[in-house]
Structure 1
């Protein structure tokens, strides 16, 4: 009987440690081959044959319907350009010009990897929907305070969020070396209490 209890206890401990470590890696572990461009980060192995099982699982959990790396490069920002975590109670300006791709989009996601619910049903802007400045650049406002143009609402709750920049059909040089491109800046404006 003691042997059975010891085996059962060992099995429970192994199960808890195995599942716990897998969840920890899926939720917060770093990705191999990470490239940074300002606050934006991408991985050279996401969407490639070199992706390990944990990377594939993280994409399955957080990147529903993700395309192959040969078609799209995904950049994610969880911080502003100063390194502060993106918070839903703060307002941000995303300032930039068109990245070197056939088409691009910037989308805000809640901490659960889903779109942030808002009455305006506005979640994203892209190369063909963003209002432009006189010099063809753009400014996208992200935050709880309503804006007249290019505004992505973050709702009323206090929490964190991420931004995803998708480059569809990036030019050849960008696909080869995504670290060499200039991506939009993310500047924090103000926070509500």
Structure 2
């Protein structure tokens, strides 16, 4: 007598539970479709536009972040170095080269979830286009690690996986069709504390 209602309830619980779990997993696995990958750097130019796919819109709503619109700029994230090895908080890196044309840019270190990693007081946690020392050709070299370095340096001394976030503000790159031809800074591993 109660067998049929019990089976219906069990089926509904599996369907709703499985659906909620798969949607949550998919939202955590991607920021959406339409990614542009330039070396180690990845950007989602359609993320804040009306053309964004449903996964990107849900991801944006779940994060609660205010993102740059396509005309305002572009955010690139790197989770691996030039050799393809995942970025680690126990290692030192050099970010060198130049950025695409932009009015202003920032480079910061984030944890695996994308939250900024704060440095100890009086240590630099990020750099920007106004404070970065450049070579005569306009290129730069930024050291990122626990040991202070002359020139451009960002403090990094944490556990686990990290990412580098390069934000280009007011850039013609965001509206460019040929983004795959842009030069991005290269991320080179210098060494690791536990190696």
Please classify the TM superposition score into its range, dividing by the shorter chain length.
0.7 to 0.9
Distance 2:43 2:64 in 1: 13
1:155 to 154, 157, 178: 157
| SS class of match (1:73) | strand
Distance 1:148 1:51 in 2: 42
Deviation of 1:145 (Å): 2.7
Distance 1:173 1:6 in 2: 53
Question: Aligned residue pairs: how many?
Answer: 192
Distance 1:64 1:173 in 2: 19
Across the aligned residues of Structure 1 and Structure 2, the Cα RMSD in angstroms comes to 2.2
Deviation of 1:62 (Å): 5.1
Indicate how the Cα distance of structure 1 residues 63 and 74 shifts in structure 2: closer, same or farther if over 3 A, else same: farther
| SS class of match (1:145) | coil
Q: Structure 1 stretch 96-105 or stretch 22-31: which is displaced more?
A: 22-31
**Equivalence map 1:107-126=2 (5 Å):** 107-120=108-121, 122-126=124-128
Distance 2:83 2:161 in 1: 16
Distance 1:125 1:154 in 2: 13
Q: Which structure's CA Rg is the greater one?
A: 2
Residue in 1 aligned with 2:103? 102
Residue in 2 aligned with 1:27? 28
* TM-score relative to the length of structure 1: 0.87
Gaps of 5+ in 1: none
Deviation of 1:164 (Å): 1.4
Deviation of 1:29 (Å): 3.0
| SS class of match (2:25) | helix
